[in-house]
Amino acid sequence: MASWESDQGWRKAQRSEACPFQYSLSSSSSTPATPPPHPEQASRRRRRPSSPIAAMSRRGDWVYENNGGTCVAIAGADYCVVAADTRLSVGYNILTRDHSKICELADKCALASSGFQGDIKALHKNLAARELLYQHQHNKRMSCPAMAQLLSNTLYYKRFFPYYAFNVLGGLDSEGKGCVFTYDAVGSYERTGYSAQGTGSALIMPVLDNQLKSPSPLLLPARDAVTPLSETEAVDLVKDVFASATERDIYTGDKLEIVVINKAGTKREYIDLRKD
């Protein structure tokens, strides 16, 4: 027994000499060991910050949902036509047949949005509040180009967790000419003569390209992007393209809401589309 204890003491001494910073393990000079961390603290240390999108993807409560719909805008020499259908659906279920996708924001300016209606409502509410602040501070309403820049800034601000909304902004500029601004989900925008967004845009844009033939923005000298059609012809064209899109797109239909903006003001018109 004595020889065994002396052998153990010799081995402890060898360890201490090999590692001088290690505390002695003998019973006479032992120090209390640091208690292990609590499991909750250990899991908190291992936790890494992640993006909201990644966290929702792991939990399975993905919030984005495309509620369908199609939006179109056409700008003329002294008018702008903004149109959208009124169907709101999820998958193969129609939630409502009378939902407006067009919001009048600034002076002679209308915004049509397609995508996730929760984000669209939040975006419209945010823009309306900012426009009201502008009106109180400057004693005038915001112009359509100014609203276009505000919308771009708002979408870009949310680029890491973006609004799932695809927007077309139409109205009159400071010179009284029609203007259309088209956007992606993170705020990149362009002024064009016409545009379409939503689930039926792939069906409508080829028809608009064929009928309106907007000049390329790369041409020099720059050409005016407004369409050569009269106001009545533009409204008739919008009715035709929506009637065609509803034949192929199940998320577009029920009713067509048309907002015509000109120097006299704003007027709305509704026509029926397919309901199946």
Q: What share of the chain is helix, strand, coil (3-state, %, to 5)?
A: 35, 25, 40
The domain locations on the chain are: 70-273
Nearest to 77 by CA among 236, 233, 269, 266: 233
Element (H, E) at 167: strand 165-172
Nearest to 89 by CA among 195, 200, 206, 167: 200
Q: Cβ–Cβ contacts within 10 Å for residue 3, how many?
A: 7
Say what the pLDDT of residue 67 is: 93
Say what the pLDDT of residue 107 is: 82
Burial (0-12, 13-18, 19+ Cβ within 10 Å), 179:
buried
**Hunting for tokens 């000049």 — which residue is that?**
215
Report which residue type is found at 183.
Y
Question: Do 160 and 172 meet the contact criterion of CB atoms below 8 Å apart?
Answer: no
Say what the pLDDT of residue 214 is: 65
| Positions of the chain with pLDDT lower than 50, given as ranges | 20-29, 49
Distance of CA 149 to the CA centre of its chain: 15
Instruction: Let me know the angle formed at the C-alpha of 84 by 240 and 195, rounded to the nearest 5 degrees.
Output: 75
Rounded to whole angstroms, the Cα distance separating 73 from 83 reads: 6
Say what the pLDDT of residue 112 is: 96
Say what the pLDDT of residue 6 is: 55
Helices (H) and strands (E) in the chain, counts: 7, 12
Asked if CATH classification 3.60.20.10 holds for the domain at 70-273, the reply, yes or no, is yes
Question: What does R_g of the chain's alpha carbons equal in angstroms?
Answer: 32
